[in-house]
């Protein structure tokens, strides 16, 4: 399920950094719909984002 729009996200503990994009990594507040949809899933899972009709596939997880 790759439509050519791969992004990297980093979950962060504060909303203050939510619009930061450093080295191609988008910081996402851990309570945001995207973050809460991703938490608890693994590589290969296709996840629906919140109440939207948008889905993402998890292709890699790192713990940096």
Per-residue model confidence as pLDDT tens digits over 46-55: 999 888 788 8
Nearest to 52 by CA among 31, 34, 30, 26: 34
Segments forming the whole domain that contains residue 30: 8-57
The Cα 56–Cα 3 span in angstroms is 10
- Residue 52 domain-assigned (yes or no): yes
Domains in the chain: how many in total? 1
pTM for the full predicted model: 0.72
- Residue 38 domain-assigned (yes or no): yes
- Residue 3 domain-assigned (yes or no): no
pLDDT band at 31; cut points 50, 70, 90 = very high
**What's the whole-number mean pLDDT along residues 39-62?**
90
- Residue 62 domain-assigned (yes or no): no
CA-CA distances (angstroms) from residue 7 to 15, 26, 40? 19, 8, 19
CA-CA distances (angstroms) from residue 2 to 8, 18, 44? 14, 24, 12
End-to-end CA distance of the chain: 25
**Average pLDDT taken over every residue of the chain:** 83
Give percent of the chain with pLDDT exceeding 70: 86
pLDDT band at 3; cut points 50, 70, 90 = low
- Residue 42 domain-assigned (yes or no): yes
């Amino acid at each position: 399920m790759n439509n050519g729009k791969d992004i990297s996200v980093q979950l962060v503990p504060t909303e203050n950094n939510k619009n930061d994009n450093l080295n191609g990594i988008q910081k996402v507040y851990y309570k945001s719909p995207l973050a809460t949809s991703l938490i608890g899933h693994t590589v290969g899972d296709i996840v629906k984002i919140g109440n939207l009709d948008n889905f993402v596939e998890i292709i890699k997880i790192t713990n940096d």
